[in-house]
């Protein structure tokens, strides 16, 4: 679900594209969250619909093309989206439904090739080199795939077909909505050179601005700039990478399994908070959530980091690397709290806090060491028991006492000890 939009370069009268050697497909669902939400609301088809949270600070997760015509876009503040398109129907996201549909779509991909690299819930790369004899040309496979997903899931997708991942991804963006673009291997460079620099994967607003200041506006400009100049401006890695991509060089293969490197959770408050006790409770809740997700994924991590965003939107991070790996809620919270307290904030107004566990490895590869200060059946066992209860009765049935609603006030636990 790319957020950037460009116009497809004109191929002129070159005839049907030659897809020889174009075995990389990038498949991207069209307005995925909106399309998925409309499956149960067919009465809203053809109307402007925005998917997003109800809280004052939420942003647009997705919008139908009818809403986009009014200027509504992903990641836009909801308040602005509502102003741009007041007649739009707003629907709260339903992440369980999206995950279920995504799983079904990935299963469809798996019937075509084993070489599927999911990028997110709604898009993936497929390497179809091994499926050509069985299913036909890459273009034919892409067409079949689009038909199958439309029939089985009731949503449309766009597909880019090319010889490299980067070009296939660009092509699917240009094909939207409900389209298919093939970029023949021999036409890769001419295809790229017509595009603006912002079309390149990895060039965001800041880098685009930087390149514009250097007088570089198109991919052709980029390609004809000495790589050393780009490296001086953007750093060694980014400079080299941009130069390579501008010439269509992208050796990255489609990688079926990608291992997570960090797991975390953050939360933006409905209103800025300056009460340290409330922030500690939020850190506890986020540590709990992060640890539970790590255990569920069978991972442990060694570095705990926190993120704090202030009322003026400045953001800081602090991290601490432990001597051993952990997936224990209490230990992650203790580290997060220590990092927060070390900031020495005197009632600063905080907008967001986050907790993240980094340096992940599989639990089996990093046995959790028993600690001398832990009781025989330590906090790990308690966490496991909570996991089992949550699996049986639903998430949140067992929580730290400080996160239980306070019966006297109706709010979350008050001045309980969080240590």
131 forms beta bridges with none
Which residue in this structure is represented by tokens 């060491």? 369
Closer residue to DNA (CB): 58 or 115: 58
**For DNA, the closer CB: 18 or 267:** 267
Q: Is 285 helix (H, G, I), strand (E, B) or coil?
A: helix
CB-nearer residue toward DNA: 107 or 270: 270
Of 251, 357, 348, 245, the residue nearest 299 (C-alpha): 357
Note whether 54 binds DNA by CB under 7 A: no
* DSSP structure string for 3-64: S---PPPP--S--SPP-TT--EEEEEETTHHHHHHHTT-GGGTTS-EEEE-SSTT-BEEEE-
318 binds DNA, rule: CB under 7 A:
yes
Among 56, 130, 226, 367, binds DNA (CB under 7 A): 56
Q: Catalytic one among 66, 123, 208, 331?
A: 123
**Residue 28 labelled as part of a binding site:** yes
- Residue from 8, 44, 89, 119 touching DNA (CB under 7 A): that is 119
User: Can residue 160 be called a binding residue for DNA (CB under 7 A)?
Assistant: no
Task: Single out the segment in contact with DNA by CB under 7 A; choices: 43-51, 157-165, 184-192, 263-271.
Answer: 263-271
Nearest distance from C-beta of residue 18 to DNA, angstroms: 26
Q: In the complex, what is the shortest distance from the CB of residue 304 to DNA, in angstroms, rounded to a whole number?
A: 9
- List, in order, residues 6 or more apart from 321 with CB less than 8 Å away: 302, 303, 359
Place of tokens 């400045």: 314
Distance CA 63, CA 81 (A): 10
Indicate if 123 belongs to the active site: yes
Which lies closer to DNA via its Cβ, residue 143 or residue 266? 266
- Cα gap 382→5, rounded to integer Å: 49
DSSP 3-state of 159: strand
Cα gap 167→202, rounded to integer Å = 13
Q: Which is nearer to DNA, 206 or 213 (CB)?
A: 206
Residue 57 binds to DNA (criterion: CB under 7 A) = yes
Interaction residues for DNA, span 123-142 (CB under 7 A): 123
Length of the chain: 419
| Residue 204 found at the interface with DNA (CB under 7 A) | yes
**Cα 222-226-231 angle, rounded to 5 deg:** 85
Residue 315 is a binding residue for DNA (CB under 7 A): yes
With CB under 7 A, what is the number of residues at the site for DNA? 57
Which residue, 141 or 197, has its beta carbon nearer to DNA?
197
Task: Determine if 21 is a binding residue for DNA (CB under 7 A).
Answer: no
Query: Which residues have C-beta within 8 Å of that of residue 189, sequence separation ≥ 6?
Result: 223, 247, 248
- Work out which of 237, 364, 372, 401 binds DNA, going by CB under 7 A: 237
The dihedral sign for the CA sequence 137, 138, 144, 147: negative
Residue 2 binds DNA (CB under 7 A): yes
Considering the rule CB under 7 A, would residue 87 count as an interface residue with DNA?
Answer: no
Q: Burial, 305: exposed, middle or buried (Cβ in 10 Å; 0-12, 13-18, 19+)?
A: buried
What is the smallest separation between the CB atom of 142 and DNA, expressed in angstroms? 18
The verdict on whether residue 122 carries a ligand-binding annotation is yes
The DSSP symbol for 202 reads: T
For residues 329 to 368, the per-residue mask of contacts with DNA, x marking binding by CB under 7 A and - elsewhere, is: ----------x-----------xx-x-x------------
Cite the active site residues: 123
Query: Which residues are at the interface with DNA (CB under 7 A)?
Result: 1-4, 56-59, 61, 74-75, 77, 79-80, 119-123, 169, 201-208, 235-238, 260-268, 293, 303, 305, 313, 315-321, 339, 351-352, 354, 356
């Amino acid at each position: 679900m790319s957020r950037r939009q460009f116009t497809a370069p004109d191929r002129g009268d070159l005839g049907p594209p030659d897809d020889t050697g174009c075995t990389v497909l990038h498949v991207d669902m069209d307005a995925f969250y909106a399309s998925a939400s409309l499956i149960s609301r067919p009465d809203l088809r053809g109307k402007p619909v925005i998917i997003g949270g109800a809280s004052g600070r939420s942003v647009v997760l997705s919008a139908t093309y009818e809403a986009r015509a009014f200027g509504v876009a992903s990641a836009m503040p909801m308040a602005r989206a509502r102003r741009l398109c007041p007649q739009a129907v707003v629907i709260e996201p339903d992440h369980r439904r999206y995950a279920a549909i995504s799983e079904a779509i990935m299963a469809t991909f798996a019937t075509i090739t084993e070489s599927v690299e999911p990028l997110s819930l709604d898009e993936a790369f497929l390497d179809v080199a091994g499926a050509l004899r069985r299913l036909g040309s890459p273009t034919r496979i892409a067409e079949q795939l689009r038909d199958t997903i439309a029939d089985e899931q009731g949503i449309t997708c766009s597909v880019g077909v090319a010889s490299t991942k980067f070009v296939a991804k660009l092509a699917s963006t240009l094909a939207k909505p409900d389209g298919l673009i093939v970029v023949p291997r021999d036409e890769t460079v001419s295809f790229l050179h017509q595009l603006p620099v912002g079309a390149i994967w990895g060039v965001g607003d800041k880098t685009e601005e930087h390149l514009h200041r250097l007088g570089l506006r198109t991919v052709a400009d980029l390609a004809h700039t000495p790589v050393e100049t780009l490296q001086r401006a953007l750093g060694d890695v980014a400079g080299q990478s941009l130069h390579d991509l501008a010439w269509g060089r992208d050796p990255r293969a489609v990688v079926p399994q990608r291992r997570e490197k960090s797991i975390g959770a953050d939360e933006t408050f409905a209103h800025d908070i300056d009460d340290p006790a409330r922030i500690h409770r939020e850190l506890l809740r986020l540590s709990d959530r992060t640890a539970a997700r790590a255990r569920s994924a069978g991972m442990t991590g060694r570095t705990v980091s926190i993120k704090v965003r202030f009322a003026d939107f400045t953001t800081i991070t602090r991290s601490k690397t432990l001597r051993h790996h952990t997936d224990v809620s209490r230990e992650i919270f203790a580290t997060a709290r220590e990092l927060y307290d070390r900031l020495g904030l005197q009632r600063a107004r905080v907008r967001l806090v986050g907790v993240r566990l980094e340096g992940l490895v599989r639990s089996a590869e990093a046995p959790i060491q028993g600690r001398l200060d832990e009781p025989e059946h330590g906090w790990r066992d308690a966490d496991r028991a909570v996991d089992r209860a949550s699996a049986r009765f639903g998430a949140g049935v067992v929580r730290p006492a400080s996160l239980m609603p306070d019966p006297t006030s109706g709010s979350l636990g008050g001045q309980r000890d969080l240590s």
